[in-house]
A and B are shown apart, each in its own frame.
Chain A
Amino acid sequence: MTPPAPLKLFRDEAQVETIQCLSCGGPIALHSFGARQRVVCPHCGSTLAPEDSGALALLEAASRKHQSSVLPLHARGKLDGTLWEIIGICWRRCVVDGVAYPWQEFLLFNPWHGVRWLIYSNSDGHWQLGQALDGAPQILKTRHHGVRFGKQRYKHFQGAIAVVTYVEGEFTWEVRVDDKAEINDFVAPPRGLSIEQSSGPDGVELNFTVARHIDAAEVWRAFQQPGKPPRSRGIGALRPNHWHRGRRSMWLSCLVFVAAWWLLSDRLAATRHPTIAFQRDNIGFDEPFAQEIKIGTPGETTAIEFTFAASPLDNAWAYADVLLVNLANDEAVGFGIEASYYHGIDGGESWHEGSSRTTHTVGGVAGGQYLLQLQPQRGGTGSTPTEYEVRVVQDVYLTRYSVLALTTILFFPLLAWLFGWLFERRRWNNSDYSS
């Protein structure tokens, strides 16, 4: 006699089945292989629940009409390398400041990987892919309400009461139209974390979900939907800030450029040997000043720094029209220069502004003999100056070119920072923290 074979439970292939709705009689395809707590007839909306024996029994009859969702029940698509099937669809919405924000949740199922949620926001057309958090987030006592899980921190974005408005298909929890839950969304784009609280038989029930932004085109491609997905508008809570893409490497290379700039300008400055070409103190204001001076080396150009200082300067000003005439070709460089110093007490606070000494830099000056001419003026309510001083220093280092180089280096990173900031401001304008 051969012994009977062992029973070996569930070694056979699990099968899908189609049952008849116990209310409307319409066919209901069951694709979740038993991992279900609620089945809602797609045709009439009646709710079925498994009994102790596992057989489905009618829990609540309904007679609603079927409504089309943005993706159909039982559509399959590959996301993150795993094939998923939509086994349940749940519409929810929240109302903020009298405006309803509806969204559609698609319960994705894979017999070996469990479930995920694909969430479509009707109001802005953005998509999220979520799954249950493998843990509990830590509430952070930071200035901006936030949570942490693992190494990731999230900032509170918004809180609202979500209400279920439509369901169809199979669910791994006890879903019901009109179910309410308090949802708090935290963001760290492109990732987000949601805390959902609802009241259940054991008091408050908590559900933690992590999600990531997913492009509408990727969803459409994955589920092989015809045409184009509904247009996404606005920023969305989790859409990545493309101005922040490569932000780290950009600032890092910027840092390298600034360091190179620093070394180079230091080296260039060291090649300059500023010397005094001309200096005269104690010049009276009474008459124009003229003096022949030598600047630089003939045949070469140089940069000069012109200093004008008046004294005593006390709530007064001194001004001079300066003219440098090249004696070789009569070409002239002219500029005005002013030194002023004011001070006083305003509302108990003493203040002062200006300086008795002013400098003016001129680049590209051809070396040679020059006639320096000054036409001085003075004035003021305090002690007006009685004498002034001029000084011409040649072969100075022109910082303006190196400043220009620095501005060029910083321009694009600062621009990207500005646009990134504007992007985030638009995102947060849709949050509980809009300005």
Chain B
Amino acid sequence: MQPGSRTDVSCPECGAPAPFRGTTVSLVCEYCSSTIVRTGLDFELLGKVSAILDNGSPIVLGAKATFDKIPFEVVGRLQLRHGRGTWNEWFLGFADNSVGWLSDAQGSYAITRPHEKSIVAGKVPPFSACVLGRALVVQGVSYVPVERRAATYQGAEGSLPFPAAPGDRFYSVDLRGHDGEFMTLDYGDRGDHQQPALYMGRAVDLIAIGLQPLRKFAGWERRA
């Protein structure tokens, strides 16, 4: 069972099937690596994405698990590069047609879901004024900025909710709460405003949420 409705189109480059879903705006063809973007009722070719670096992630496209009792599938990956290397943001399609992101940076994982921008609009500082360690209060909960990144898109695979052209720069701040809460403020391509997109969730353990299948590693065995 695939979550969401599917539209059957073909890759304008190689003609292979391109399984667009309800939430998919951009899709990387799994045969020829071309990026196909949905514009209204049309589909257009954005060109080939640069290669995704193998940064040792155990997550693979198509892996399934359950978060907050709702099953999801890993449908896309955005690989990002900042001053200190790369990390992955996996795009999740949930069984109830909602979406989420699984952030994957150096063995630390968190799942977030998009929330109303208005919750933080005007109440949080712009990217440039966010100080690591200085807590922000959102809906009565304290969040401590722990990571501030200006990143570029390294590459992508699978389905994404927006067209991600390699080289695009974007700004984000990760915050953590005193009871394990996780929040990302996504300032988009400009860091000087107070209207970031809001993602909230919590840190997860891949084995604990039952993500399957996972990548295989030479010399390592995992008991099922």
B-binding residues in A (CB < 8 A): 3-4, 6-16, 31-37, 50, 52-54, 83, 109-115, 132-138, 148-150, 172-174, 197, 201-206, 208
Query: Nearest Cβ in chain A — how far from B32, in angstroms?
Result: 8
Closest to B157 in A: A9
- Select the residue from A10, A114, A204 with max chain B CB neighbours within 10 A: A10
Known: A3-B16, A111-B217, A134-B202. A206 touches B31 (CB 8 A): no
Contact of A34 with B54 in the complex, beta carbons under 8 Å: yes
Contact of B176 with A136 in the complex, beta carbons under 8 Å: yes
Residues of B within 8 A of A197 (CB): 133
Contact of A50 with B85 in the complex, beta carbons under 8 Å: yes
Query: Nearest Cβ in chain B — how far from A198, in angstroms?
Result: 11
Contact of B53 with A54 in the complex, beta carbons under 8 Å: yes
Contact of B222 with A206 in the complex, beta carbons under 8 Å: no
CA distance A150 to B219 in the complex (A): 36
Closest to B144 in A: A136
User: Which of A14, A134, A173 lies in contact with B54, CB distance below 8 A?
Assistant: A14
Give the segment of B37-45, B112-120, B178-186 that binds chain A: B178-186
Describe B's contact surface by its main secondary structure: loop
- Select the residue from B31, B84, B218, B220 with max chain A CB neighbours within 10 A: B220
28 A-B residue contacts at CB 8 Å?
Answer: A3-B16, A4-B31, A6-B16, A6-B30, A7-B30, A10-B60, A11-B60, A13-B215, A16-B219, A33-B217, A36-B56, A37-B106, A83-B220, A110-B220, A113-B205, A113-B206, A113-B207, A134-B180, A135-B176, A135-B180, A136-B135, A136-B176, A149-B179, A150-B178, A150-B179, A150-B180, A204-B132, A206-B133
Q: Say if the beta carbon of B95 comes within 8 Å of chain A.
A: no
CA distance A201 to B151 in the complex (A): 14
Contact of B84 with A138 in the complex, beta carbons under 8 Å: no
CA distance A161 to B148 in the complex (A): 24
Residues of A within 8 A of B33 (CB): 7
A-binding residues in B (CB < 8 A): 16, 30-31, 33, 52-58, 60-61, 81, 83-85, 106-109, 131-133, 135, 142-144, 146, 148-149, 157, 175-182, 202-203, 205-207, 214-220, 222
Residues of A within 8 A of B217 (CB): 13-14, 33, 111
Known: A10-B60, A83-B220, A109-B107. 19 other contacts (CB 8 A): A8-B30, A9-B157, A11-B215, A13-B216, A14-B56, A14-B215, A33-B56, A110-B220, A111-B56, A112-B220, A114-B109, A115-B106, A134-B176, A134-B180, A135-B179, A136-B135, A138-B178, A150-B178, A173-B106
Query: Nearest Cβ in chain B — how far from A113, in angstroms?
Result: 7
Residues of B within 8 A of A37 (CB): 84-85, 106
Known: A16-B218, A136-B146. A9 touches B52 (CB 8 A): yes
Contact of B132 with A206 in the complex, beta carbons under 8 Å: yes
Query: Nearest Cβ in chain A — how far from B106, in angstroms?
Result: 4
Residues of B within 8 A of A148 (CB): 178
Residues of B within 8 A of A112 (CB): 58, 206-207, 214, 220, 222
Contact of B218 with A205 in the complex, beta carbons under 8 Å: no
Query: Nearest Cβ in chain A — how far from B136, in angstroms?
Result: 11
Query: Nearest Cβ in chain B — how far from A32, in angstroms?
Result: 6
Describe A's contact surface by its main secondary structure: loop
Query: Nearest Cβ in chain B — how far from A328, in angstroms?
Result: 80
Number of residue pairs A-B, CB distance < 8 angstroms: 138
User: Which of A10, A202, A208 lies in contact with B215, CB distance below 8 A?
Assistant: A10
Contact of B205 with A135 in the complex, beta carbons under 8 Å: no
Residues of B within 8 A of A10 (CB): 54, 57, 60, 215
CA distance A206 to B130 in the complex (A): 14
User: Which of A15, A36, A52, A203 lies in contact with B81, CB distance below 8 A?
Assistant: A52
CA distance A132 to B180 in the complex (A): 12
Closest to A82 in B: B207
Query: Nearest Cβ in chain A — how far from B112, in angstroms?
Result: 13
Residues of B within 8 A of A52 (CB): 81
Known: A8-B30, A135-B178, A138-B142. A114 touches B133 (CB 8 A): no
Contact of A114 with B107 in the complex, beta carbons under 8 Å: yes
Contact of B131 with A203 in the complex, beta carbons under 8 Å: yes
Residues of B within 8 A of A114 (CB): 106-109
Residues of B within 8 A of A205 (CB): 132
CA distance A115 to B56 in the complex (A): 12
Contact of B85 with A137 in the complex, beta carbons under 8 Å: no
Residues of B within 8 A of A50 (CB): 85
Residues of B within 8 A of A208 (CB): 146, 176
User: Which of A33, A173, A206 lies in contact with B146, CB distance below 8 A?
Assistant: A206
User: Which of A14, A173, A202 lies in contact with B218, CB distance below 8 A?
Assistant: A14
Residues of B within 8 A of A172 (CB): 106-107
User: Which of A7, A31, A110, A135 lies in contact with B203, CB distance below 8 A?
Assistant: A135
CA distance A14 to B216 in the complex (A): 6
Residues of B within 8 A of A7 (CB): 30-31, 33
User: Which of A4, A32, A54, A204 lies in contact with B133, CB distance below 8 A?
Assistant: A204
Residues of A within 8 A of B81 (CB): 52
CA distance A174 to B81 in the complex (A): 15
Query: Nearest Cβ in chain B — how far from A195, in angstroms?
Result: 9
CA distance A33 to B203 in the complex (A): 22
Residues of A within 8 A of B83 (CB): 201
Contact of A149 with B178 in the complex, beta carbons under 8 Å: yes
Closest to A207 in B: B146
Residues of B within 8 A of A14 (CB): 54, 56, 215-218
Closest to B106 in A: A172
CA distance A150 to B180 in the complex (A): 7
Query: Nearest Cβ in chain B — how far from A348, in angstroms?
Result: 54
Query: Nearest Cβ in chain A — how far from B167, in angstroms?
Result: 12
Residues of B within 8 A of A83 (CB): 220
Query: Nearest Cβ in chain B — how far from A103, in angstroms?
Result: 22
Query: Nearest Cβ in chain A — how far from B23, in angstroms?
Result: 21
Query: Nearest Cβ in chain A — how far from B99, in angstroms?
Result: 21
